[in-house]
Amino acid sequence: MADPHRRSGPGLRARSPARRATAASGRTHRPVDAARAHVWSALRDAVAEHDIDVDAANRVLHAVDLPLLPRRWQVRLTLPILIEVTATSRENAFDTAEAAVETTLTGADLDVHIEWDGRERDDANPGDLDPTTAEHPYPGQ
């Protein structure tokens, strides 16, 4: 005799004991997930061993809707930064500002190489006297 409390119909299937235990733990493990993970790992390993180009591997991963392989990128940024510095000349103001940026970025936990190019110096506008500077131009005077 059929169980009157058991629901059936399209899309409703009884779960196997293993599937019920997995569902009860909050994790789902399907064979297709394992296959997808295997494809991703196999392509990552093939790229690492130089058997396949990373771009070709990423095209395959994209085609089967898997995450792309992580890559190292070298990024060149041009940032408009306005820094107020105390300096005696336009050239010294740029040098001081560049040193401040370089000190800040090299203190970060990143592999940073700064390439200063004098042609990229946009603008430096002189302002008023900085009253916080020393009264005498030479220390000990």
DSSP string, 19-70: HHHHHHTT----HHHHHHHHHHHHHHHHHHTTSS-HHHHHHHHHHTT-PPPP
Range of the domain at 110: 73-131
> pTM for the whole thing?
0.47
Q: Could you tell me how many residues make up the chain?
A: 141
The total number of structural domains in the chain stands at: 2
Confidence category of residue 75, pLDDT binned at 50, 70, 90? confident
| Shared domain check, 46 and 96 | no
Residues 78 and 126 in one domain: yes
Is the same domain home to 122 and 91? yes
Residue 124: burial class (beta carbons within 10 Å; 0-12, 13-18, 19+): middle
Q: Which residues contact 6 (CB under 8 A, 6 or more apart)?
A: 14
pLDDT given for residue 82 in this prediction = 84
Does pLDDT of 52 surpass 60?
yes
Closest CA to 80 of 121, 50, 129, 40: 121
Residues 3-20: tens digit of each pLDDT:
554 544 444 454 444 454
100 domain residue, yes or no: yes
Residue 4 lies in a domain: no
Please count the CA atoms within 13 angstroms of the CA of 95 that sit on its side-chain side.
6
> Do 106 and 57 belong together in one domain?
no
